[in-house]
Chains A and B, each alone.
Chain A
Amino acid sequence: MTVMVTNAEVLALEAAPAQGKTRATATADVPERRPAQAADRAAQPVLALSQIALTFGGVAALRDVDLAVAPGEIRAVIGPNGAGKSSLLNVISGLYRPDRGEVWLGERAFAQVPTARLAAHGVARTFQNLAIFKGLSVFDNVLMGLAHRVRSGFLRQIIGSPLARRIDAENRAAAEDVIGFLHLGEVRERAAGTLPYGLQKRVELARALVARPTLLLLDEPFAGVTLSEKLELSEHVRNARDSYGATIVLIEHDIGVVMGLSDRIAVLDNGSKIADGTPDEVRADQAVIDAYLGVAHQDITELAV
């Protein structure tokens, strides 16, 4: 019975993109392209985790988790609270060092991903509890997403050497583009700290997108956001993949949104992966239902409101 309800919710979502504010760029043909993309999933994965195990002082947060993310895919990782989703993302972005296993970014493997060079590897992420720079304006926040590209030293910046000016101009153009893309135009000069929560989430997304990352890690982007903002944000996430060509890994515990948005879903439950497949396969998977049944009533009421 519980599944039925979520299904309705999902259908509503699926219909949304059709009438939603479609961007000028060619998103119209999205439905046809998706099956083709699924076919070449066997191509080199953008991200692959093999046998990742992580313990915090005896408590096993992750138990031998494998995950592969194909280029251009919206890959979701869901699971109840405390399932290890955020730990997984922190392992991918190098904040935690796994006890065992490796993280493959494209063709390079890391025992621990060097966080400082994440941006250089084309990886960007957002944070669960919103890591924007309150003291900077929205535009400057977005500009910060390209910090790793600024090769000119501080002296060149002071003098305003040709190199410094060229890089600055390129960055500003890219920032303008993303500001327009995520409709942040009218708040661009305001200090990020003064914006409502939903808008701040969008600024963080813009900052992650501006460097046109090959891999975009989203840590519960829909947490604490109103329903209408959820729709808008999922719209932006889909556009991010389509017009910015980013492969997206989405960590979320709100099943409704995820089902409609992601190509494939992995389900974690207290540290281990219990299911991995398309939204339909996962929805039918008994292990997933049992895991969620345990917490189902709580999630459902939240959705029903």
Chain B
Amino acid sequence: MFDYQFLIEVLVGGLLSGVMYSLVAIGFVLIYKTSGVLNFAQGAMLLFAALTFVSLVERGSSFPVAFVITLAIMVVLRVSVERAVLRPLVNQPPTTLFVATLGLSYVIEGAAQLLWGTQVHGLDIGISDVPLDIAGVFISRFDLFAAAVAGSLVALFALFFRYTRTGLSFRAVADDPFAALAVGLRLPRVWASVWTASGIVALVAGLLWGARLGVQFSLSLVVLKALPVLVLGGFDSIAGAIIGGLLIGAIEKLSEVYVGRLFGGGIEAWAAYVVALVLLLVRPSGLFGQKLVERV
């Protein structure tokens, strides 16, 4: 008979890991939404944040202190990166900006390893991974905690966007940078704060993923998990990043566990992309992405 209990477990596991994907995806969305830049250095910054935090903790500082110091370093890093790299390239075509962020990821990866060494670090944020047993379905405590953190972060951003002035200016810039400029919004300041916000997301994602993988170089490869989420949810929509993440997480796990056997396993990597591609053919700019209106 079909083991429904196991199906639920796969689904829940998929959804929870999907949350981790959307956490990374949100870092991309914030920047793309306001400046049309696909910031591929997000992975390297995620690594840098986690590495800085872990190295500080290992040098004796407590979690909160390390968090604050790392946060400060991230803010400085993000603002200076936005100022030094992105602003001079502001109206270049997206491919040039994309490659500039790739170059940036080289710099940050090199600097991170030079500064903190190439060793592998464990990161225990106090949440044990021993699964809860709810009616036979194993759900990991860590995933629940991660989902809670991601959920609160998203809620925070949603409130921030809707009710604060800077949040409003983000949305204005996202909608039409020139109009925003016309009404006197100081674009450079908005972009600097957007990059900082996305830096905070990178830090949180870095800690959560770091706790799961261990803080090491391959942490920066996590961005590959976020790309199908962006394609499915839409590059410029936070809601899309969340729902896209959940969908991709679930699809990945269900396809691998149930369909993988037919292909001999290991199909997870491309299954997510193929599903995103199929849905994309129906909606060419993602489920929630802004439809591209071509003025004739």
Q: A residues engaging B (CB < 8 A)? A: 86, 90, 95, 127-129
Indicate if B114 sits at the interface (CB-CB under 8 A). no
CB distance from B28 to the nearest CB of A (A): 29
- Complex alpha-carbon distance, A289 and B205, angstroms: 66
Indicate if B165 sits at the interface (CB-CB under 8 A). no
- Complex alpha-carbon distance, A95 and B296, angstroms: 9
In the A-B complex, list the 7 residue pairs whose CB atoms are closest, starting with the nearest. Answer: A127-B296, A95-B296, A90-B296, A129-B295, A128-B296, A86-B296, A129-B296
- Complex alpha-carbon distance, A95 and B294, angstroms: 12
7 A-B residue contacts at CB 8 Å? A86-B296, A90-B296, A95-B296, A127-B296, A128-B296, A129-B295, A129-B296
CB distance from B244 to the nearest CB of A (A): 27
Q: B residues engaging A (CB < 8 A)? A: 295-296
- Complex alpha-carbon distance, A61 and B122, angstroms: 65
Residues of B contacting A95 in the complex (Cβ-Cβ under 8 angstroms): 296
- Complex alpha-carbon distance, A128 and B295, angstroms: 10
A86 to B, closest residue via Cβ: B296
A95 to B, closest residue via Cβ: B296
Residues of B contacting A86 in the complex (Cβ-Cβ under 8 angstroms): 296
CB distance from B178 to the nearest CB of A (A): 15
Residues of A contacting B296 in the complex (Cβ-Cβ under 8 angstroms): 86, 90, 95, 127-129
- Complex alpha-carbon distance, A127 and B296, angstroms: 7
CB distance from A86 to the nearest CB of B (A): 8
CB distance from B96 to the nearest CB of A (A): 15
- Complex alpha-carbon distance, A128 and B296, angstroms: 7
- Complex alpha-carbon distance, A129 and B295, angstroms: 8
- Complex alpha-carbon distance, A95 and B295, angstroms: 12
Residues of B contacting A90 in the complex (Cβ-Cβ under 8 angstroms): 296
A89 to B, closest residue via Cβ: B296
CB distance from A71 to the nearest CB of B (A): 27
CB distance from A146 to the nearest CB of B (A): 23
Residues of A contacting B295 in the complex (Cβ-Cβ under 8 angstroms): 129
- Complex alpha-carbon distance, A176 and B295, angstroms: 32
CB distance from B205 to the nearest CB of A (A): 39
CB distance from A278 to the nearest CB of B (A): 31
CB distance from B20 to the nearest CB of A (A): 40
A129 to B, closest residue via Cβ: B295
A96 to B, closest residue via Cβ: B296
Residues of B contacting A127 in the complex (Cβ-Cβ under 8 angstroms): 296
- Complex alpha-carbon distance, A150 and B10, angstroms: 56
A93 to B, closest residue via Cβ: B296
- Complex alpha-carbon distance, A75 and B296, angstroms: 22
- Complex alpha-carbon distance, A241 and B296, angstroms: 25
- Complex alpha-carbon distance, A86 and B295, angstroms: 12
CB distance from A156 to the nearest CB of B (A): 32
- Complex alpha-carbon distance, A129 and B296, angstroms: 7
- Complex alpha-carbon distance, A204 and B96, angstroms: 29
CB distance from B92 to the nearest CB of A (A): 15
CB distance from A179 to the nearest CB of B (A): 27
Residues of B contacting A128 in the complex (Cβ-Cβ under 8 angstroms): 296
A131 to B, closest residue via Cβ: B296
- Complex alpha-carbon distance, A90 and B296, angstroms: 9
- Complex alpha-carbon distance, A77 and B296, angstroms: 18
CB distance from A141 to the nearest CB of B (A): 18
CB distance from A90 to the nearest CB of B (A): 7
- Complex alpha-carbon distance, A230 and B295, angstroms: 24
- Complex alpha-carbon distance, A50 and B295, angstroms: 27
- Complex alpha-carbon distance, A127 and B295, angstroms: 11
CB distance from A130 to the nearest CB of B (A): 11
- Complex alpha-carbon distance, A180 and B37, angstroms: 44
CB distance from B291 to the nearest CB of A (A): 13
B295 to A, closest residue via Cβ: A129
